[in-house]
Amino acid sequence: MQVNETLAEGLRHEFQISFSAAEIAAKADARLVNLKDKVKLDGFRPGKVPVSHLKKVYGRSLMVETIEDTIRDTNMQIVTDHGFKLAGNPKVTMPSEAKEIEDILAGKSDLNYSVAIEVVPAIELADFKTFAIEKPVVDVTDVDVDEGIKRIADQNRSYSTRAEGAKAENSDRVTITFKGTIGGELFEGGSSEDVLVVLGSNALIPGFEEQLVGIGVGETRIVKAPFPNNYADSELAGKEAEFETTASMIEMPDDIQIDDQFAQTIGLDTLDQLKKAVRERLAAEFARAMRQHVKRALFDRLDETHKFETPPTLVEEEFEQVWKSITTEMETNKKTFADEDTTEEAAREEYRRIADRRVRLSLVLSDIGEKNGISVTDDEINRALINRARQMPGREKEIWDYYQKNPQAMAQIRAPIFEDKVVDFILELANVTEKNVTREDLYKDHEMHGAEV
């Protein structure tokens, strides 16, 4: 066997490998001898099949297996000898001429092939004790709790029929029947009967509900409203429609007394219990948003302090995934790059930068975990999987079996657990200071940026 490195450029390495025909033949013959004691052929006693006969029957398939195993083992040896950490699977280039391939399989020619390897660079980790991370802190106030209870009350509000002759007001619930046309023609899905709509809820397309204010029972109006450009049905998106709309009932919202009796209507014994439940839910929501803020700040520091060449193949794969998601969303919403005040070229450059950052930070997090013995246990994965299954009542076993049988899906369960454990490890070392902020500032910042790996 001869192995010659023909390229060592950045993270790319290429090798030319050569095995003589005699070496490959010897490996194949060893397989034949091993097969002799296992195979059963008509006309021969077990273990007595001549090797020459086995070669006639199995020679070609064994030669293929021998070559495949030789290439795999040699590639692994190259990786081990050079201390490479692979960024992806080695890319093997075999002879392409049919006659050359046949001669190799027949044992008449040497096996010559090349392998291209892309590696992960050595990463010099920063001193995490020098990291200064600011954590926003938001306390749940009584006002927050009261607003949360009011939203619950609005969702559970009852309605009473307005007096005869009354006209619909904003916040009233109106029962309508409508028939929609575009260009004078009825369109699929544009007609419905006895639809309940709360005026001002924005449940219908923009401009529809506002034109129903003042309508009376039995009155028919022509409502003109355009479908949004990003409407789910692309056949209707952006088109102007007219709806012949008739109101059959008008109901006004009943007053709601926020007390123990109201709490009991939603399954709690007292108003205090309801307040406690709302406070706990809001505290959990705030905690998730604060965590995302801290992670984003930490990732920004990791990005600033770890600059190295990223494996091009990994970046390209990540970019393709991101770009496909972006373009699919734009097509669905019927948007162009001009609508986003950019060009396709500029957008590609920006999302390639994002892909590079994601790959680099993923490599950094992986390296931190590896060097500090951070791993995800089977119990942690199982707990996460059980929680995922519980989100789909009645299908728990189906969900469990799906993940157990799909390594890629299971990796999606493992990844966020690993990421959070590495983040917690770094934060233990970093200098984390708290800063009180408003709820509005927390969510404004959270929506604008998000956490990005």
**pLDDT tens-digit readout, 289-308:** 999 999 999 999 999 999 99
Residue 105, phi then psi, degrees to nearest 5: -65, -30
Report CA dihedral (54, 57, 61, 65) to the nearest 10 degrees.
-10
Burial track 414-446 (b if 16+ CB lie within 10 A, e otherwise): beebbbebbbebbbeebebeeeebebeebeebb
What pLDDT was estimated at residue 100? 87
Residue 434, phi then psi, degrees to nearest 5: -100, 145
- Helix, strand, or coil (residue 76): helix
Distance of CA 283 to the CA centre of its chain: 26
What pLDDT was estimated at residue 28? 83
CA–CA–CA angle 296, 144, 446 (5° rounding): 15
What pLDDT was estimated at residue 97? 87
Residues 6+ apart with CB under 8 A from 172: 159, 162, 198, 199, 250, 251, 252, 253
Flag residues of the chain having pLDDT under 50: 448, 450-451
2-118 CATH pick, 3.90.226.10, 1.25.40.10, 3.30.70.1050, 3.90.180.10: 3.30.70.1050
- Return the domain boundaries, the chain: 2-118, 158-253, 262-449
- Helix, strand, or coil (residue 34): helix
Residue whose tokens read 């995302």:
292
What pLDDT was estimated at residue 450? 46
What pLDDT was estimated at residue 75? 93
Say how far apart CA 175 and CA 313 lie, in whole Å.
Answer: 58
Q: How far is CA 155 from CA 194, 274, 335, in A?
A: 20, 15, 34
CATH 1.10.3120.10 fits 262-449, yes or no: yes
Q: What is the mean pLDDT of the chain?
A: 90
What pLDDT was estimated at residue 451? 43
Say how far apart CA 364 and CA 123 lie, in whole Å.
Answer: 7
Domain covering 158-253: architecture = Roll (3.10)
What pLDDT was estimated at residue 441? 87
Of the chain, the percentage scoring pLDDT greater than 90 comes to 70
What pLDDT was estimated at residue 341? 86
What pLDDT was estimated at residue 231? 82
